[in-house]
Amino acid sequence: MNRHVLVVLIVAVTALLAASGLPAAASAGTGKYAPLDRPGPKLDVPAKKLAASLKCHGTLRGSTLEPVVLSPATGVNSVQNYSWNYERAFTAQHRPWCAITMPYRTLGDIQTAGEYLVHAIRTVHARAGERVAVLGHSQGGMSMRWALRFWPDTRRMVDDVIGMAGSNHGTTTRTACIEGQTSCPPAVWQQASTAHFIAALNSGAETFRGISYTEIFTHTDEVVQPNSTDATSSSALHTGSGRITNVSTQDICPTDTYEHLNVGTIDPVAYALVMDALTHDGPAKPSRIDGSVCQSAYQPGVDPSSANTYEQVLMSAPGLVAVATPFANAVGAPEVKSEPKLRCYTLATGC
């Protein structure tokens, strides 16, 4: 199949997301949240589940290349998100990587997903003996920040945070989810721009000293909004003491039309920024990106002749349908009629 077939297939799979986005939730208010330096709580997820969730490839200890932890988007698992693009590219580079499989195709409570990220960061750091990068798409481009916010010990273990179309400030778009009336997966409620989860995530500081943050987004994003301009980008970060680069793919290639799913799976511009962050001190620097990338159709790792490429795109469809259409949840994700309550460790009063 040619590149046009692959792009059309991806756009078709994500069309349901574009139709309705994510829900509006109750106002998060001005509640008091945990101090930035309070030690994180013990992980509630059983150790066996945490261990089983992490798949690693390559030699972590002694590698000359920074290890990467891959965190998937809402509605998909790590295989569907990364096996046909970034995993292939990193393997070809001999770069060690570890991918996390979240419960319910990453549709469950993101507070639980945060525990999987804490475990992954601690485990990969311990095995590698060095600081690691965490790379994520959509929810996966935001959720590592939950681990860093509420488990301060993980901050010294992370060198780079790289988000692709990350829902850092939620989204203003809506779905059929109506609080108190419609049941939707927890992660859908939690990524509304007015969600209590988003307020807690960004409380105190969005970034932390010693960590480089590269936030990549696209002006054609139909899911995480607003992202139509650099100034109003929901994906962008601004506060805290981390080093930050907020960059749209259109800053590099003004005619880049790849949208929400594309930017985290096939966009060569996003890939170039990811690699710039991984291979330099600090976050990505747009001025280092060669303009020739604008002539490429796919990022390295994507093989449009491989059956697995199309299989994973198609396999992602049921989970993505469950994001946008709560009446068609075919992946067994839990559904609730409102945003899950914030856990006690997030609050100033503690547990």
Question: What secondary structure does DSSP assign to 85-148, as a single string?
Answer: THHHHHHHHT--EEEE--GGGGTS-HHHHHHHHHHHHHHHHHHHTS-EEEEEEGGGGTTHHHHH
Query: What is the reported pLDDT for 9?
Result: 54
Q: Are the C-beta atoms of 215 and 245 separated by less than 8 Å?
A: yes
Strand pairing partners for 56? 98
Side chain identity at 293, as an amino acid letter? V
Q: Are the C-beta atoms of 9 and 310 separated by less than 8 Å?
A: yes
CA dihedral 168, 174, 177, 180 (to 10 degrees): 80
At residue 7 the predicted structure's pLDDT band, cuts being 50, 70 and 90, is low
Side chain identity at 263, as an amino acid letter? V
Mean pLDDT of 287-304: 97
Which two structure tokens, joined as six digits, stand for 183? 């049941």
Is the peptide bond between 152 and the residue preceding it cis, with omega within 30 degrees of 0? no
Question: What secondary structure does DSSP assign to 223-258, as a single string?
Answer: SS-S-SSSTT-SS----BSSEEEEEEHHHH-TT---
Distance of CA 281 to the CA centre of its chain: 22
Does pLDDT of 271 surpass 70? yes
Of 25-34, 123-132, 177-186, which gets the smallest average pLDDT? 25-34
Parallel, antiparallel or unpaired: strands 132-137 and 158-164: parallel
Distance of CA 243 to the CA centre of its chain: 19
Query: What is the reported pLDDT for 246?
Result: 98
Q: Are the C-beta atoms of 342 and 200 separated by less than 8 Å?
A: yes
Q: pTM to 2 decimals?
A: 0.92
Give CA–CA dist 3/154, Å, rounded.
40
CA dihedral 61, 54, 284, 243 (to 10 degrees): -90
Does pLDDT of 145 surpass 80? yes
**Percent of all residues in the chain with a pLDDT value above 90, rounded to a whole number:** 83
Burial of 305: CB neighbours in 10 Å, binned 0-12, 13-18, 19+: exposed
Q: Are the C-beta atoms of 286 and 252 separated by less than 8 Å?
A: yes
Mean pLDDT of 52-80: 97
Classified as helix, coil or strand, 54 is: strand
Give the tens place of pLDDT for each residue, 188-240.
Answer: 999 999 999 999 999 999 999 999 999 999 999 999 999 999 999 999 999 99
Does pLDDT of 18 surpass 50? no
Evaluate the CA torsion angle 301, 307, 311, 314 in order and state its sign.
positive
Q: Edge-to-edge strands of the sheet including 243-248?
A: 54-57, 97-100, 68-71, 132-137, 158-164, 212-217, 243-248
At residue 296 the predicted structure's pLDDT band, cuts being 50, 70 and 90, is very high
Evaluate the CA torsion angle 150, 152, 153, 154 in order and state its sign.
positive
Query: What is the reported pLDDT for 327?
Result: 65
Give CA–CA dist 213/216, Å, rounded.
10
Query: What is the reported pLDDT for 173?
Result: 86
Q: Are the C-beta atoms of 213 and 284 separated by less than 8 Å?
A: no
CA 264 vs CA 8, 48, 135, 221, 341: distances in Å: 16, 29, 10, 11, 29
Mean pLDDT of the chain: 91
Instruction: Return the higher-pLDDT residue of 24 and 327.
Output: 327
Does pLDDT of 149 surpass 80? yes
Classified as helix, coil or strand, 47 is: helix
